[in-house]
Amino acid sequence: MRLLIVEDEKRLALSLAKGLTAEGYAVDVVHDGREGLHRATEGTYDLLILDIMLPGLNGYRVCAALRAAGDDTPILMLTAKDGEYDEAEGLDTGADDYLTKPFSYVVLLARLKALLRRRGPGASPVLVHGDLRLDTAARRVHLADAEVTLTAKEFAVLEQLATRPGEVVSKARILEHVWDFAYDGDPNIVEVYISALRRKLRPGVIGTVRGAGYRLEAER
Ligand code: CA
């Protein structure tokens, strides 16, 4: 799951990014409305957290421009408490939900998860493949009824494979969805996580397709 935060209050943006990264999301942050619109248009995000009062282009206009272009990525809008901007207007421009500052991080996380669950028909929070079961809302994994404890990043890598069972998922795709755009380390980090998952699950659950990527294998 990849999220974009468009928020010019840098401390708030960075603390949100830190919290959400710890939850296992890949998070990109920009501080300007125009840059936010550009990034949202170019990137493949699962959700946008969009402030309203932004330099460059305000959040309403970013939201309206995305919707006008047919982009239906869920948008959670943030606004200041003073009531200068009202909720109705935010929802009118196509935002999916609205949060007034100051908000609790726990509330933001709950709203964000609700939006991600709601997104798209057939987007089930529970992915089942053979005897492997991923609950994407609770972020828990079971294999043949035994719970497997994964780190947030391990879970995110497995989730990328489990949403496309039997299909080859490229290393680039996993990198793009699990690590953020600022990641400039070794792309072989994906291999490290795949190895860890194989150890924790069982050999053969994740297959390697040489030169192409990885695949969640059919039950044998
Ligand atoms: Ca602002």
Domain boundaries, the chain: 2-118, 126-216
Distance 77 CA to ligand 1 centre (A): 11
Assign 87 a pLDDT band (cuts: 50, 70, 90).
Answer: low
Distance 160 CA to ligand 1 centre (A): 33
Distance 8 CA to ligand 1 centre (A): 5
% the chain with pLDDT above 90:
49
Assign 164 a pLDDT band (cuts: 50, 70, 90).
Answer: confident
Domain spanning 126-216: CATH 1.10.10.10: yes
Distance 176 CA to ligand 1 centre (A): 27
Distance 122 CA to ligand 1 centre (A): 35
Distance 82 CA to ligand 1 centre (A): 13
Convert the pLDDT of each residue in 91-123 to its tens digit: 667 888 888 888 889 899 999 988 887 765 445
Query: Who has greater pLDDT, 126 or 41?
Result: 41
Which class would CATH give 2-118?
Answer: alpha beta
Distance 50 CA to ligand 1 centre (A): 9
Checking DSSP bridges between strand 132-135 and strand 206-209, what pairing results, if any? Answer: unpaired
Using alpha carbons, select from 104, 112, 197 the residue that is nearest to residue 149.
197
Question: How many other CB atoms are found less than 10 A from the CB of residue 126?
Answer: 11
Q: Residue 102, preceding bond cis, omega within 30 degrees?
A: yes
Q: What is each CA distance from 85 to 76, 80, 91, 147, 208, in whole angstroms?
A: 15, 8, 11, 46, 51
pLDDT at position 121 is 46
pLDDT at position 47 is 95
| CA–CA gap between residue 2 and residue 24 (Å, rounded) | 9
pLDDT at position 84 is 57
Distance 23 CA to ligand 1 centre (A): 24
- Tell me, yes or no, if the pTM score tops 0.75: no
